[in-house]
Amino acid sequence: MKQETNPHPHELLSAFSDQVATPEEAARLQEHLRDCAECRQLLHDLTALATAIGEEAVPAPPPQLAARIRQRIEAGSPPRTTPMAASFWRSPFPPALAATLLMATTLFLIWRREHVVPTPAGIQAPPASVPVAKSETGPVSDKPAGPPPPPSREKPDIAMNEGLDRNLENLGYIGKGTERSTPEEDSPAAAGEAPAARGFAPAPTAARQDASLGGHVTGEPSPSPEEESQSRDYLDVITASGLTGEAYKKAMEKKAPAEVPKAKDNRTSAPALSDGVSAGMVEESLPLVSAEEARSLAYEGPGFSATFSEDGLVTLVARGYACSVTVPPSQAAPDGARARSIDDLAGLFRTASSREFLATGSTREDAPTAKPAAPATSNLALRNAQGDPIHSVPFNEPLSQESPQVLRTLSQGIHSLIFQRYRKELESRCGPLPATLHSAP
Amino acid sequence: MLKAMEPRPVEQPESEEELIGRAREGDSRAFDRIVQTHLGVVWRVVWRILRHREDTEDVVQEVFITAYKALAGYRGECRLSTWLHRIAVTRSLNHLRSRGEVLRRASRPLEVATELTLAAPDGIEGHTPLLALEAKELLQKLASCLEQLPAIWRAAVTLRDGEEMSYEEMADVLGVAVGTVRSRLARARVALRECVRGVSR
C-alpha cells in the first residue's frame, strides 16, 4: 500500500540494508534498483548512516552510579516478591517489637476514641500546580505508527500502548514475552478477572464460597445488574485480599465511604469494593492489618513517588531523597465527616478501595483513534499484598476541576500524608525533605 | 542461601538465574551484581534516546529501581537484558514525554516522512550526498539530526544501529510487532537521512 503513494520502496530498502528482506523482496528490490538511481543512493546512505550511528561515541556512566542505585534500593524499595509489608515484619523488627507496636497502637486507638478532636473536614489542599520537572511514570501513548493500521495488529505499538509503563510496572513485568499487555489489562474488565486469575491468595476460599452461593464465578466482564449485587459480595472478598470471609465483609461495610456514586457501567463496577454504606456506621477500629494482608498504594508523580503499605510502611522517593518509615497503622474513621478526608493510612486505603476509585480510569477508549492528546504525568496503583495490581489509574497533574473527585481526594491526601501527617517521621529518620519537594505540590 | 555459604571458585561467577533468584529474595547484593553487569548497556540505551547526561543518570537509576521492584514478575520468558532494555526504553520515552517531547510525530505515515520538518544542521543547503561528507562532519550532523528525530524513531534507529539488536528483539523491547519495527525503522532512517543531507526546509 505504501507503493501506491510512494514510488520508492523505502521500507524494503531499509530492511534490505539490514539483510532481513525475504528473497522475494530482495529480488523485487534489485529490479527496482536497476532503474532507480535515487534508491541506489538511498541504500548507500542508509548503510553509511547505520555505520555512523554505530560509531557514535556515548559518554561513559559516572563511576558512582551503581552505588547510587544501590543506595536508593537499600533506602526502601524491597522487591515485590517479599512484599514491603512482609519484609518489614520479617527482618528488622523482631516479633516482640511488633507485639509492642500492636499494643501501643491499640492503646492509642482507645485513647483516641475517647479524645476525638474534631478537625476541619477537608485537608488543606496543596497548591494545584506541580512542576513537571521529572516524571517517568506517564505512560507512553501515541497514535499508531505508520499507514492506516491493519485491522488486527499482532501487538500494540508501544506508542499507542497507553500505560505500557504502568503495565510493566504494575504487572510486575509479568512475562508476556512478545505479547505485550494491552491497556485493557488495566481496565476493570481485566481487573475483574485478575483476582481469580492471579490468585489473590488470602481469600480464595471465601471467594469460592460466595461464588457457589450464587455470585458469578470468575471475573466476568459484564455482570447483569441483577447479578451485580451478588457478584459484589464475591468481589468484596476477593479484592480485599486481606481479611477473609464474613469478617472482612463486615469490616468493609463499616469502612465504606459515604455517597459513593454508582459506577457508570457494570464493567467498570466489577472490581468495586465498597458499597456505598453510610460512613456514619463506622464506629469501630478496624483490626490491624497484618503483613500478609497489607495492600499497598503506590503514587508516582512528577515531583516524587510514594508507596503506602497498609501495615504502616511509608516510602518516599524524590530526587535526592529516599526514605522509608513506619507509621501508626490503620485506624477507623471516627465519624462520617472525616471519612471523606484522608488523614491516615486507613483513610487512604478506604478511598483507594472505594468504588469511585476502582471505577476511575476505566473509560479509556478502546480505539486508538480516539486518543486524547494529554499524556499521563502520574499514576496511582493499588496492589494486593503479593504486589499484584488491583487497580491502576494514570492521570495528569496538576489535577483540574474536571479531574475525578476521587483522584483529587487521593492526591491531596497523599500530599497531606507526606508533607504533614507523616512528615515528622520521615524527617526524623532521613533528614529534612528536600527544599524542592516542599513547593512541589 | 545454602549455596551462598559454600565456597565458590572465584573465577566462576554465579549464573544470572542464580543472581535473579537471590535478588528476588531480597538480596540486594545479588541485585547489585546484576546492576553492574547491565549498567553499561542500559546506560547506552537510555543515553541514545535521551542524549542528555543528567537525565540519563536519573532515568537509569529509575530503570534499575523499577526492575528491582518488578523482579518478582520476571519469569525468564525473555533474556534479562531484553527485559531491562524494555524498561529502559519505556522509561526514557516517558521521561521525554513528560518533558513535552512530541512522540506523536512518529505516527506520520511513511509517505510524509520525508516532509518531516527537521531542521537541517547549519551549513547545509540543498541536497548533499552523504558520500561528500567527511566522517567527522557526518557524525556532527548525525548528532544534530538524531536530537531532532521523534524519540520513538530515535529509539528504533539506535537500538538497531547502535545496539545492533535484531528486529525480533526490538519488537520485544519496543512492545510492537516486527512489521512495525520494520516500517518504523524505515521512516526514521529516511527522515534522518534527509535531515543529514539538508533536504528539509
Higher pLDDT, B57 or A154: B57
Residue A254: inside a domain: yes
* A301 within domain boundaries: yes
Q: Are residues A102 and A50 in the same domain?
A: no
User: Is B189 within a domain?
Assistant: yes
Query: A218 pLDDT exceeds 70?
Result: no
Domain housing A43: 2-55
Residue A194 falls within a domain, yes or no?
no
Q: Is the pLDDT of residue A155 over 60?
A: no
**Grid cell of A224 as nine digits:** 447483569
How much is the average pLDDT of A185-214? 32
> What are the chain B neighbours of A62 within 8 Å (beta carbons)?
57
| B window 120-179, beta carbon within 8 A of A | 129-131, 135, 138-139, 142-143, 146, 152, 157-158, 160-162, 164, 167-168, 171-172, 174-179
CATH number of the domain that B89 lies in?
1.10.1740.10
Last residue of a domain, one of B72, B98, B124: B98
Distance of alpha carbon A129 from its chain centroid, rounded? 21
**Of residues A62, A136, A178, nearest to B94 (C-beta):** A136
Share of chain A above pLDDT 70, in %: 38
Q: Are the Cβ atoms of B177 and A77 closer than 8 angstroms?
A: no
Whether residues B39 and B123 share a domain: the answer is no
Contact A42 B39 (CB under 8 A): no
Lowest mean pLDDT segment, chosen from A170-179, A404-413, B102-111:
A170-179
Provide the chain A residues 336-375 that lie in CB contact (below 8 A) with chain B. Answer: 373, 375
Look at chain A and report how many structural domains it folds into. 2
The sign of the dihedral angle between the CA atoms of A175, A179, A185, A186 is positive
Q: Is residue B126 part of a domain?
A: yes
Tell me, what's the pLDDT at A60? 93
Q: Do A61 and B71 touch (CB under 8 A)?
A: no
> B5 lies in a domain?
no
Query: In whole angstroms, what is the distance from residue A375 CA to residue A396 CA?
Result: 7
Measure the CA–CA gap between B156 and A183, rounded to whole angstroms: 22
B90 to chain A: which residues are within 8 Å by CB?
140, 158, 164-165, 168
Grid cell locating A364: 479509556
Instruction: Output the pLDDT for position A7.
Output: 78
* Statement to judge: residues B29 and B44 lie in one domain: yes
- What Å distances lie between residue A54 and A178, B44, B81, CA to CA? 26, 12, 19
Mark whether B186 and B110 lie in a shared domain. yes
Last residue of a domain, which of B75, B98, B121?
A: B98
Nearest to B107 among A50, A68, A142 (CB): A142
Q: Could you tell me if A41 and A176 lie in one domain? A: no
Tens of pLDDT, residues A83-133: 333 334 434 444 455 556 566 666 666 665 555 444 333 333 333 333 333
| pLDDT tier for residue B37 given thresholds of 50, 70 and 90 | very high
Structural domain total, chain B: 2
- Closest-approach residue (CA) in chain B for A298: B69
Choose among A10, A80, A156: nearest Cβ to B190.
A10
DSSP classification of residue B159: I
Give the residue numbers spanning the domain of B65. 13-98
Q: Residues B137-141: contacts with CB within 8 Å, 24+ apart?
A: B138/A48, B138/A52, B138/B196, B139/A52, B139/A55, B139/A56, B141/B195, B141/B196
Contact: B90, A165; criterion CB under 8 Å: yes
Q: What pTM was estimated for this model as a whole? A: 0.43
Cell triple for A10: 523505502
User: For residue B1, is it within any domain?
Assistant: no
pLDDT of residue A96: 53
pLDDT of residue A53: 92
The beta-carbon contacts of B24-27 under 8 Å, at least 24 apart in sequence, are: B24/A79, B24/A81, B24/B71, B24/B72, B25/A79, B25/A81, B25/A82, B25/B1, B26/A78, B26/A79, B26/A81, B26/A82, B26/A87
Confidence of residue B173 (pLDDT cuts 50, 70, 90): very high
Q: What pLDDT is attached to residue B92? A: 93
- B72 & B117 share domain: no
pLDDT for residue A229 = 38
Same-domain pairing of B109 and B193:
yes
What would the pLDDT profile of A313-345 be if each residue is shown by its tens digit? 777 766 656 666 777 655 444 444 444 567 788
Tens digits of residue pLDDT in A235-289: 332 233 333 334 434 444 444 433 333 333 333 333 333 333 333 333 333 334 5
Q: Give the domain-ending residue among B98, B116, B135.
A: B98
| B110/B188 same-domain check | yes
CA angle A273/A279/A280 to nearest 5° reads 150
Same structural domain, A295 and A152: yes
Average pLDDT over residues B51-73: 91
**Main-chain dihedrals φ then ψ at residue A269, nearest 5 degrees:** -85, -10
C-beta of residue A348 within 8 angstroms of C-beta of residue A337: no
- Measured between alpha carbons, how far is B110 from B191 in angstroms, rounded to an integer? 9
Predicted confidence (pLDDT) at residue B24 exceeds the cutoff of 80: yes
Looking at the fold, whether B155 and B120 belong to one and the same domain comes out as yes
For residues B64 and B107, membership in a common domain is answered with no
User: Is B3 part of a structural domain of the chain?
Assistant: no
Of A45, A50, A61, the CB nearest to B161: A50
For the record, the C-alpha cell of A114 comes out as 475517647
Taking CA atoms, A397 is separated from A36, A128, A257, B77, in Å, by: 52, 8, 24, 35
Q: Are residues A32 and A100 in the same domain?
A: no
Q: How confident is the model at residue A11 (pLDDT cuts 50, 70, 90)?
A: very high
Task: Check residue A223 and give its pLDDT.
Answer: 36
**Judgement on whether residues A269 and A357 belong to the same structural domain of the protein:** yes
> Please, what is the angle between helix B28-50 and helix B80-98, to 10°?
50
Residue A47 and residue A96 in one domain:
no
Which string of DSSP letters, residue by residue, matches A356-382? HHHTTT----SSGGG--SPPP-EEEEE
Query: Does any domain span residue B4?
Result: no
The answer on A115 and A8 residing in a single domain is: no
